A and B are shown apart, each in its own frame.
Chain A
Amino acid sequence: MPAIDVQNLTKFYGPARGIIDISFSVEQGEIMGFLGPNGSGKTTTMRMLTCFFPPTSGTARICGYDIHEDPIEVRRRIGYLPESVPLYRDMPVFSYLHFFAEVKGISRSKRKVKVDEAMERCGLTDVSHRLIGKLSKGFRQRVGIAQALLNDPEILILDEPTVGLDPKQIIDIRSLIKELGKTQTVILSTHILPEVSMTCDRVIIIHEGRLVAVDTPANLMKRLQQTPQVVIRAEGPQGEMQRALEKVEGVVSVELRMRHSGADCFQVAMQEDAPAVNGLARAICDGGWRLHEIRPADMSLEEIFIQLVTEEQGVTGA
């Protein structure tokens, strides 16, 4: 049984898009990264997994519990750090953690041990009696994570855990997350590409509310470096057209994608240094067939990556 099993999750905020038809699963002990530009639907997805609000349609099972039917059981099994790292600033670290230990239903006898444990794992023991409002941003982030760890959750959900930290703090938090990933299933969201390759086993890329890809960081990089692809839609005898395209200079492979409105759609992989696509167009025209469309293949994945890569600034050394 996967730790998290998401099926066709869709959320609309009134008419506005949240996420559309997202499905994936996370195995036990995996660190899964949610990657996507700001506003792509990462937080929305996490809020549904934590039963903050229900999806418009679709469902998810967390450790076998359905988010619609057993929200309380689901919440018992997760630790959640929201993006804004909400904290009661007028409380000392220790009391804050104690309060959430109690809310999470940890029995009185175990509470102190659990709080001490969480503080130690997050390096908070020295500041346990300081007011949260007086702590630096990095320490506050740790308090947030410690709060998420209190009930030894089977699943940790961290929404942008490194945002707004300085490079040194980022390194600290990343190594903490890696450490946690040894014992727990972790979902973390980020809009920073290198963060994913550094900490995650697998990555989900979300863009404009839709799932674009699920794969390991290594495979994604491979896909990213793939040869350029061109889509051609043309009307004519299918086999002949395909053979003609294959003969064009610089073409690696031609794949029939689908038929629609009378025309066949081919996806053509080109060599990196291939000449312009004129050859492809000429091959169709010379055959006397009708060319409907010629365009670069769906670039969304690459585009997103470019967007993500350019957003990472100043922490590349991390």
Chain B
Amino acid sequence: MNFLTVMKRELKSYFTSLIAYVIIAIFLVIAGYFFYTNLVMFVMFVGTDVKLGLWQHTFYDMRFVTLSLLPLLTMRLFAEEKKLGTIELLYTSPIRDMEIIMGKYLACLVVYVLMLLLTLLYPVLLEVVFSVEMGPVIAGYTGLFLLGAACIACGIFLSSLTENQIVAAISTIGVLLFMWLIDWNEGIAGERSVIILHQLSLSEHFFNFIKGVIDIDDIVYYLSFIFLFLYLTRCSLESRKWRGEK
């Protein structure tokens, strides 16, 4: 259960260094703003068909905050320890590389889930005045959760490659943006390659969730994305065993 020890320390560190508070606060402010403006817009122009469209727009806006804020949460995970040298202590403690990775990954995921849970306030508030259909809300949150979990996996990998946190954050944003936009210019792609691009795209798999559909295909996609990057992280940590540098 060593990963729990690492996870607890990471969480403590997030909350004593204020990083978590700042990021959660920004997330809530922006998500709240999106929810409010979307709600007002739907009430003014669309009328009673609030149920589906409202959530589609809100979740679609929130994924943008997820994509751009999570790299700031993951950037320190390994980069900071490498810079401080504390990673050497972990490497020489009776703990496996995978336990270190899982501890850090889960700590970050916990902060993200906390962010999402706090936004549950919006549907709850709405429920008070207007009956909310829960299906699309659940699907949307599932999508946001999986998207965030994938972003964190990608971020933890890139953080393990460098001791510079800024480099880790920027490269994570780069990879995530690219994976999000990979099928935008589908017009120029052939019929077969469009299918492949859609399959690879972070956004394509996300759209189903915000439409209110939980499809096993999309879940498998995100889980594979997560496993791939966690595996790469492990390879990156193990590279100390054969790399030429000191």
Binary flags per residue of A93-126, CB closer than 8 Å to B gives 1, else 0: 0010001101111000000000000000000000
Task: Given A86-B84, A89-B84, answer yes or no on A103-B95 (Cβ-Cβ < 8 Å).
Answer: yes
- Size of the chain B interface, CB-CB below 8 angstroms: 27
At the interface, yes or no: B240 with Cβ under 8 Å from chain A? yes
Question: How far is A86 from B86 in the complex, measured between Cα atoms in Å?
Answer: 5
Given contacts A16-B244, A102-B5, contact A75 B94 (CB under 8 A): yes
Question: Given A100-B89, A104-B94 in contact, is the A87-B6 Cβ separation under 8 Å?
Answer: no
Residue of A nearest to B83 (CB): A86
Interface of chain B residues 181 through 198 with chain A (CB within 8 A): none
Main secondary structure of the interface of B (DSSP, over half): helix
Contact indicator B86/A52 (Cβ below 8 Å): no
A18-B241 Cα distance, complex, nearest whole Å: 13
Query: Which residue of B is nearest A16, CB measured?
Result: B244
Do A53 and B240 form a contact, CB below 8 Å, given A102-B5, A105-B94? yes
With an 8 A cutoff between CB atoms, is A178 at the interface?
no
**Contacting residues, chain B, for A10 (C-beta < 8 A):** none
Interface stretch of the complex, out of A76-84, A166-174, A305-313: A76-84
Using A13-B246, A99-B5, A102-B5 as known contacts, say yes or no to A86 and B94 having CB atoms under 8 A apart: no
- Quick one: which of B5, B88, B96, B245 contacts A82, CB cutoff 8 A? B88
Interface residues of A in 203-252 (CB under 8 A from B): none
Q: Is the CB of B92 within 8 A of A88?
A: no
CB-based A-B contact count at 8 angstroms: 77
Question: Are A52 and B91 touching (Cβ within 8 A)?
Answer: yes
Contact with B along A50-94 (1 / 0, CB 8 A): 111110000000000000000011011010101011111111000
Minimum Cβ distance to chain A for residue B114 (Å): 20
Which chain A residues lie closer than 8 Å to B243 at the CB level?
A: 13-14
List the B side residues contacting A15 at CB < 8 Å: 244
Complex alpha-carbon distance, A102 and B96, angstroms: 14
B94: min CB distance to chain A, Å: 4
A80 touches B89 (CB 8 A): yes
Q: Could you say which residues of chain A place their CB within 8 Å of the CB of B244?
A: 13-16
Measured in the bound complex, the distance between the Cα atoms of B92 and A222 in whole Å is 38
Partner of A95, one of B5, B12, B93: B12
Given A52-B240, A53-B240, CB of A103 within 8 Å of CB of B90: yes
B94, A53: Cβ atoms closer than 8 Å: no
Excluding A47-B88, A103-B5, 16 further A-B contacts by CB distance (< 8 Å) are: A13-B243, A14-B245, A44-B246, A47-B92, A51-B91, A52-B88, A53-B241, A75-B93, A80-B89, A82-B85, A84-B88, A87-B84, A91-B13, A102-B5, A103-B6, A105-B2
* 6 A-B pairs with least C-beta separation: A14-B244, A86-B85, A86-B86, A50-B92, A84-B85, A75-B94
A–B Cβ pairs within 8 angstroms, 19 of them: A13-B245, A14-B244, A15-B244, A52-B91, A52-B240, A53-B241, A75-B93, A80-B92, A82-B85, A84-B88, A86-B86, A88-B13, A88-B84, A88-B86, A91-B13, A91-B16, A103-B5, A103-B90, A103-B94
